[in-house]
Chains A and B, each alone.
Chain A
Amino acid sequence: MLSSSLSPLAEIRLIAVRELRRSIRSTKGVAIAALTLAGACIALLVSGWMDAGGRELPSAEVTQAQLELRRQAIAHATGDPAFADDVASMPTSLLAFLKITVWFSPLLVALLGFDGISGELQHRTVRFWAVRARRSSLFAGKLLGLWALVGLVTLALNLLAGGAALARGHVAIGELARWGVRSWFVVFVIAGAWAAMATLVSACFSAPILALLATFAAFFVLWLVGLGGFLSRMRLSAEGGAQPAPTLWYEFLYPNAYDTLLMSSDPARVLGAAGILIAFVAIATGAGSLLLARRDM
C-alpha cells in the first residue's frame, strides 16, 4: 500500500477541530460554562456599578467636556495618553469589561490549556496520534484548538457584557458593534500569545498538575514583568510632568501590555502589535514542535 498524503495544514485543522470538540465535551466544558457565567456576573456587576454611580451616560448625551474629562482620567490611569485618545469615546462599561477580560485571559488560558498536551502524554493517549500526524502538526493543532476555545469563551463573554450594557441603555447597538468587535479582537489576539505559551509549557510535562503549576508560574513572572514596567513608566511619567513616558522594552514581554496598541485608531500600531503577538505564537509553535519531535512519547 502506498502512503496517503495529508498536508500539514489539513493535519492541523483535523487536530484543532477535534481538540475544540474534546474541550467542550469534557469536564472542562463545565469549567468553561462556569467561567462564562462568572464573566456574565462580572459584566452585570460592572453595569450595575456604572448605573449606581451615574458613571455611564448614553453616548448621545456625552458632552465634549465630559469626553475630555474621561480622556484625562484614562490617560492618568494607564499612563498612556495615546490610548486615552483612542478609547475616550468608548462606553466606560465596555472599556472596563475589556480591561477585566484582558487581565483574566491568561488565567482562562492556563485553566483551559494546561493539560492539552501534558494530559495526553501522561496517559500516552498521544501515541494514537504519533503514528498519524507530524509532531509539529500535533502541537499547532492543540494550540489552535485552545486558541479557538478561548476565542469562543471570550466572544460569549463579550456578547453577555455587550448585552448587559445595551439592556441598561449604556450603549447604542451601533456603538456596541463597533467597540464590541474591536474589544473581542484585542482579547482574541492577546489570548493567542498566552495560548501559545500555555501549550508550550504543557508540552514540557507529562504530569498535568506540574504543567498547571509551571503555567501559573510562567504567567505570574510575566505579569510581574508587566507590572514592573507599568509602575516604572508611571513613576517616570510623574517625574516628567506633562511629558508621557515611553513604554519600556520589557513591558513588551507581557502580552497584555499590547491591549493599548491593539485598540489604537492607527492601523500601523494595530498591525505591529498583532504581528508581535503572532510572532509569540510562531516562536512557541517552533519551540513546541522541536520539543515534541525530540522527546520520547
Chain B
Amino acid sequence: MPEPGIAVRLRRVTKRFGANTAVDDVSLAVPVGSAYGLIGPNGAGKTTAFSMMAGYLRPSDGAIDVLGFAPAAVDALRGRVGVLPQDAILPPGDAVGELLVHLARLQGMPAAKALEAARGALAEVEGADWWGQRCGRLSHGMAKRVALAQAFLGQPDLVLLDEPTAGLDPRVAWEIRRLVQTKKGRTTIVVSSHNLRELEELCDAAAILDRGRIVAVGTMAELTAANDEVRVHVARGTRPGQGRGELPLQALRGLPMVRTIDFDDERLELVVGFDRSAADAETVIGHVLTALLHSEVRISGVSKGRGLEQRVMDVTR
C-alpha cells in the first residue's frame, strides 16, 4: 500500500558489486510533490541509489518502495514513473516521434492518445521539429531533451532525473532547469546531480551521500542553514575592531536575535547565527548590514546560510 505523503522510501538499502559496497545502509524518504536532490561527489553512490529507485538495479539488502510498490512492479507503476537515465543512449535507428509513441503505448496509452502525448512531450522540450529525425543523428543536447521528453511522457506522478544537465551548454541546461521548474509541485521529482547550484535552485530537500552513506539529509533550508545563519563577505584587509572600516563584533553580538558571531579571516567571512524564532533571515540581514554600514565596513557579498556547496564540502571528504 502506498505510504501517505511519501513517494519514494528507501529502508536500509545496501548495494554491493562484488567486494565493493556502492550504497551502504541508506534510508531516506522523498515526500510527495517535492523536488528532491541526491548529492555527492563521484563514487558517492548517488547513481546507484537512483538506479535502484528506477528498478535498474536490485538492492543487495534493504527495501525500496516507489509510490507504494517495489520498483520492479512495472505493471503497478506503469505510466506513473518517468526516468531520465544518465548514460542510456537513445536507439539510434528509431525516429524520435516513433520512439516516443512506442514508449507511450507501452505506458498503456491507446494509439491516438500516445501520439498526442508524444507530440506534447516533444513540444515541451522545444523539439517539435525533430519528430522525424533519427535519434542517432541528434546532437548531445537534443538527445538529452528527447530523453527528458520520454521521462515526462504522460504526466507521471514521479520523475527520476539522473544528471539532467550534464555535458550540456549553459543555454540548454538553463532550458532544462526551467522545464523541471515548471513541473515542480505537479509531480514528485528526484534529481541526482553534481551541479550543486542547480540542485539548490531546483530542490526543496536533499540527501548528501559520501562513500555510499548518507552524511546529511533535510530540507534545502536545513542543509544550507538558510534559516539559522547569514554570511557576510567583507573586503580584503577588514579586521575586527571598533574603528572606521573595522568589524563591530561587540555591537553585532548585542543584536537581540543574534546567537553567535564568528569571523573567518581567511575567507573574510562573517558568520552570524541567529534564533529563527526571534527573526527571519531577511530581518537579520537588515540589522547586520545596518551595523556594518554604520562602521563603514566594505561589503562584497551577503548570503542566507552557508550555501549547498559549502555544506557538501563540510560533510564529504
State the A residues within 8 Å of B (CB): 1-6, 11, 14-15, 18, 22, 25-26, 120, 123-134, 293-294, 296-297
- What residues of A have a CB within 8 angstroms of the CB of B81 in the complex? 131
B90 touches A125 (CB 8 A): yes
**CB 8 Å contact bits of B70-95 with A (1 = contact, 0 = none):** 00101111111111010111111110
Dominant secondary structure of chain B at its interface with chain A: loop
Known: A4-B78, A26-B93, A134-B74. Is A127-B108 also a contact (CB below 8 A)? no
- What residues of A have a CB within 8 angstroms of the CB of B92 in the complex? 26
- What residues of B have a CB within 8 angstroms of the CB of A22 in the complex? 91, 93-94
B105 touches A125 (CB 8 A): no
Distance in angstroms between the alpha carbons of A294 and B102 in the assembled complex: 25
Distance in angstroms between the alpha carbons of A68 and B115 in the assembled complex: 62
B109 touches A131 (CB 8 A): no
Distance in angstroms between the alpha carbons of A6 and B155 in the assembled complex: 18
Distance in angstroms between the alpha carbons of A26 and B93 in the assembled complex: 6
Q: In whole Å, how far is A294's beta carbon from the nearest beta carbon of chain B?
A: 8
A131 touches B75 (CB 8 A): no
B155 touches A1 (CB 8 A): yes
Contact among A1, A120, A125 for B80, CB-based, below 8 A? A1
B107 interface contact, C-beta 8 A = yes
Distance in angstroms between the alpha carbons of A123 and B94 in the assembled complex: 15
Pairs across A and B, CB under 8 Å, 15 listed = A1-B80, A3-B78, A6-B107, A14-B105, A125-B88, A125-B89, A125-B90, A127-B83, A128-B88, A130-B74, A131-B77, A132-B103, A132-B107, A134-B74, A294-B58
B45 interface contact, C-beta 8 A = no
B174 interface contact, C-beta 8 A = no
B93 touches A124 (CB 8 A): no
Which of B30-38, B49-57, B212-220 has 4 or more CB atoms under 8 Å from chain A? Answer: B49-57
- What residues of B have a CB within 8 angstroms of the CB of A134 in the complex? 74-75
A130 touches B78 (CB 8 A): no
Contact among A4, A124, A297 for B109, CB-based, below 8 A? A4
Known: A1-B155, A11-B106. Is A128-B150 also a contact (CB below 8 A)? yes
**What 7 pairs across the A-B complex have the smallest Cβ distances?**
A4-B108, A132-B106, A124-B88, A123-B89, A26-B93, A127-B85, A127-B88
B93 touches A25 (CB 8 A): yes
**CB 8 Å contact bits of B126-153 with A (1 = contact, 0 = none):** 0000000000000000000001001000
B157 interface contact, C-beta 8 A = yes
Known: A1-B155, A6-B78. Is A296-B85 also a contact (CB below 8 A)? no
B156 touches A1 (CB 8 A): yes
**CB 8 Å contact bits of B98-115 with A (1 = contact, 0 = none):** 000011011111000000
Beyond the given A2-B80, A125-B90, A127-B85, please list 5 additional residue pairs across the A-B interface where CB-CB is below 8 A.
Answer: A1-B80, A4-B108, A5-B75, A6-B78, A26-B92
- What residues of A have a CB within 8 angstroms of the CB of B157 in the complex? 1
A131 touches B55 (CB 8 A): yes
Distance in angstroms between the alpha carbons of A5 and B76 in the assembled complex: 8
Contact among A26, A133, A294, A296 for B106, CB-based, below 8 A? A133
Distance in angstroms between the alpha carbons of A131 and B156 in the assembled complex: 12
Distance in angstroms between the alpha carbons of A134 and B108 in the assembled complex: 13
- Which residue of the partner chain A has the closest CB to B83? A131
- Which residue of the partner chain B has the closest CB to A23? B93
Q: How many of chain B's residues have a CB under 8 angstroms from any CB in A?
A: 38
Distance in angstroms between the alpha carbons of A127 and B72 in the assembled complex: 12
- Which residue of the partner chain B has the closest CB to A13? B105
Contact among B58, B75, B150 for A296, CB-based, below 8 A? B58
Which of A25, A128, A133 has most B Cβ within 10 Å? A128
- Which residue of the partner chain A has the closest CB to B76? A3
A14 touches B102 (CB 8 A): yes
- What residues of B have a CB within 8 angstroms of the CB of A11 in the complex? 106
Q: In whole Å, how far is B22's beta carbon from the nearest beta carbon of chain A?
A: 11
A18 touches B87 (CB 8 A): no
Q: In whole Å, how far is B27's beta carbon from the nearest beta carbon of chain A?
A: 21
Contact among A4, A126, A129, A297 for B79, CB-based, below 8 A? A4
- Which residue of the partner chain B has the closest CB to A2? B80
Which of A6, A127, A293 has most B Cβ within 10 Å? A127
B74 touches A133 (CB 8 A): yes
- Which residue of the partner chain A has the closest CB to B156? A1
B108 touches A128 (CB 8 A): no
Q: In whole Å, how far is A137's beta carbon from the nearest beta carbon of chain B?
A: 9
B85 touches A6 (CB 8 A): no
Distance in angstroms between the alpha carbons of A6 and B113 in the assembled complex: 15
Distance in angstroms between the alpha carbons of A22 and B85 in the assembled complex: 22
Q: In whole Å, how far is B118's beta carbon from the nearest beta carbon of chain A?
A: 13
Distance in angstroms between the alpha carbons of A22 and B95 in the assembled complex: 10
- What residues of A have a CB within 8 angstroms of the CB of B51 in the complex? 296
Distance in angstroms between the alpha carbons of A120 and B90 in the assembled complex: 9
- Which residue of the partner chain B has the closest CB to A131? B83
Contact among A25, A120, A130 for B54, CB-based, below 8 A? A130
- What residues of A have a CB within 8 angstroms of the CB of B82 in the complex? 131
- What residues of A have a CB within 8 angstroms of the CB of B88 in the complex? 123-128
- What residues of B have a CB within 8 angstroms of the CB of A133 in the complex? 74, 106
Known: A6-B106, A133-B106. Is A128-B90 also a contact (CB below 8 A)? yes
Distance in angstroms between the alpha carbons of A295 and B3 in the assembled complex: 28
- Which residue of the partner chain B has the closest CB to A295? B58
Known: A3-B80, A4-B108, A6-B108. Is A128-B75 also a contact (CB below 8 A)? no
- What residues of A have a CB within 8 angstroms of the CB of B147 in the complex? 128
